[in-house]
Chain A
Amino acid sequence: MTRDIRISTAGDPTTQPVSYETEELYVVRCGVQKELPGYKSGGPCEGWYVLFFILSGSGVFRVGQQPYPAAKGDILLTRPLQPVSLQADGKQPWRYTWVAFGGDSADTYLEYAGFGAADVIQHSAIPNESYLKIIEEMLQIRESTMTNALAKVSALYHILYLLARNQTSRRQPGRANYDYPREVYVEYAKEYIGYHYAHIKVMDVADYIGVSRSYLTMIFNKVLGQSPQEYLLRFRLEQGAKQLRETDKSLKEIAEAIGYEDAFTFSKIFKSKYGVSPSVYRRERKGAAQ
């Protein structure tokens, strides 16, 4: 038997799952293995996706006939039903940790993680021990309960999160990488401004949605035909105008509510935009409404 020359370093790497509670993503098995020099084996879980994180040593990973030499710090991926083999180096055999999983969203998430359809190997941007820590925690979760199924899928999402955060930046080095269509960022920014307009600067908006200020300016110009600065100013003044029409609040109160230090600044900006002062505007509009 070949099993006795494998050394499991944590928990029971052969624990089998029995059912999957989540369809979009689920953990099948996971483990930690240290191979003897030259040891060759098939993949641990051929019906599933398997991510391998090499912790030390080296070896050769084969997908079909294609060899991929791999060493400490590398991450390898196999997909369901791929014929794979792993051969530990004759002098410095590898130690690795792995997690096997499935689910409808696995392909999409792997793409987020920098593994396109044809990608097999990446060098990890962070020490692979970070992934080991999560997998060791998963190995402690044994009982087959709903609680544990949810804890495992949470842990797997966490692994994919770390990959997506750290590996995608490698894809287009030196360039910020924005994941969503620009309309989505604009919509998200507008929603944020809708809640916070009185207290924020354009930089806060950019920070909140997670893009640079210049990118935000570029997409606002393309999608809305105005800069975020102009949009924010206009939004504030519209809110001010609305309060002038619909409330009896003093100018000072309205100015403060929409984020101006005093009534004078508000009046000046209001006049430059609407062509009339706030008090004239209020008189005309209120009069018109009655």
Chain B
Amino acid sequence: MIQPRPRPKTATDIYQAGLQQKPGYFSYAGFRSLQLLSGTNSYFHITHAGEEQCEPGHYYDETRTEYHMHFIIRGKGMFQIEDTLHPVKQGEIFLVPAGRQNAYQADWEDPWHYIWVAFGGSRVWRFLESAGFTPDKLIRPAYAPTEQYYALIQGILDARNLTHANELKRMSGLYAVFSLLTRTRSMENAAGDQGFYSRNKHVNHAIQYIQSNYSTTNIVDIASYVGLNRSYLTTLFKKEMHISLQEYLIHYRMEIASRQLETTTRKIGEIAAAVGYDDLLSFSKAFHRVHGVGPRDYRKAFSEMGRRG
């Protein structure tokens, strides 16, 4: 377990010691969010950010009310969560979750220099999970050069003045940090599968994309939009929907076409073009295959039904 040797009393004392040793090495900002001040429930908000070159053996053990994420730029140290002790080093990220008993200490020989950002809100775990953290997995490699995180967090620190504009800038920075975390986290996964969406969600995305872009899209577009490779998406789709993606697209187009035949007097050529067919013959063929009759007969049958009804 971590043994605090000459242990400083409070964060302020440590801070003072740090300042006197290496002025300029330390920066710290606590933020105010108007939303929080007004007592509104927050989905996601930033509360602090900072940079610290720790003294050898620097030690913290506060149980936090926010989530503190540390990006180690240089050096190493130990991170203890409840009864488990983990060594953490340069190029790694460790997360101190709100409300959990923890302690962390800079190495005595090679103390860490880290940047950190603290945040809270009801949606924190959604973003943390997509960034590769779980309540049991609180350490991960940065996967990207730490300079990239450093630049984003410096941007947040620069926006410390209390203005509405800065409140927005800090949130922009926080989401950029999480976008980078999520992007680099996907490098862990099998090639092609950006696994942080469930299969079902990929399929839903494909369907919603078709519904919005049915007249112009093709399978390659859909796969590129969803972010999966083509053959993986078609396999996934078939498993989930029991119909191939290609078939689904054709069915959806013919569904739209049949509705237009029923409710408008547009020419068949126009309707074909509106659902993505330049060639009337291939449209008629596809329509026939889906509805059992050609478009002309379909319209005729429908209008007769209407007259009779």
Quick check: B179 and A151 within 8 Å, CB to CB? Answer: yes
- State the Cβ distance, B188 to closest chain A Cβ, in Å: 13
Best-surrounded residue of B37, B179, B201, B226 (most CB of chain A within 10 A): B179
Chain B residue contacts of A147, Cβ below 8 A = 130, 179, 182-183, 186, 194
List residues 90-131 of chain A with CB under 8 A from any CB of chain B. Answer: 104-105, 108-109, 112
* B32 with A184: CB separation less than 8 A: yes
Chain A 123-172 residues near chain B, CB threshold 8 A:
142-148, 150-151, 153-155, 157-158, 160-161, 164-165, 168
Report the Cα distance A23→B45, complex, angstroms. 12
B78 to chain A, nearest CB (A): 26
Q: List the A residue with the shortest CB-CB distance to B130.
A: A146
Distance A151 CA – B167 CA, assembled complex (angstroms)? 17
Residues of B within 8 A of A279 (CB): none
Tell me which of A157, A185, A194 contacts B168 (CB under 8 A). Answer: A157
Greatest chain B CB density within 10 A among A188, A194, A257 is at A188
Q: How far is the CA of A18 from the CA of B226 in the complex (A)?
A: 9
The residue of chain B having its C-beta at the shortest distance from the C-beta of A166 within the complex is: B165
B213 and A112 contact, CB distance less than 8 A:
no
Residues of B within 8 A of A (CB): 12, 15-16, 19-20, 23, 28, 30, 32, 34-35, 37, 42-44, 123, 126-127, 130, 160-169, 171-176, 178-179, 182-183, 186, 194, 196-197, 201, 204-205, 208-209, 212-213, 224-227, 274
CB-CB under 8 A for A22 and B226, given A164-B164, A184-B32? no
B209 touches A180 (CB 8 A): no
What are 27 A-B contacts defined by CB distance under 8 Å?
A14-B213, A18-B204, A18-B212, A19-B205, A104-B43, A108-B35, A112-B164, A143-B225, A143-B226, A144-B227, A145-B197, A145-B227, A146-B182, A147-B182, A147-B183, A147-B194, A157-B168, A158-B168, A161-B165, A165-B165, A168-B165, A184-B32, A187-B32, A198-B16, A209-B162, A210-B163, A211-B162
Check: A262 CB closer than 8 A to any chain B CB.
no
In the assembled complex, the Cα of A259 lies from the Cα of B182 at a distance in Å of: 45
Question: Apart from A16-B209, A210-B166, what are 8 other A-B pairs with CB-CB below 8 Å?
Answer: A22-B43, A112-B164, A143-B224, A143-B227, A144-B209, A145-B182, A154-B172, A155-B172
A14, A105, A148, A187: the one within 8 Å of B35 (CB): A105
Query: Could you tell me the distance in whole angstroms from the C-beta of B15 to the nearest C-beta in chain A?
Result: 6
- CB neighbours (8 Å) of B127 from chain A are 150
A16 and B212 form a contact (CB under 8 A): yes
Q: List the A side residues contacting B213 at CB < 8 Å.
A: 14, 16
**In the complex, how many angstroms separate the beta carbon of B26 from the nearest chain A beta carbon?**
10
Q: Decide: B123 and A184 in contact? CB cutoff 8 A.
A: no
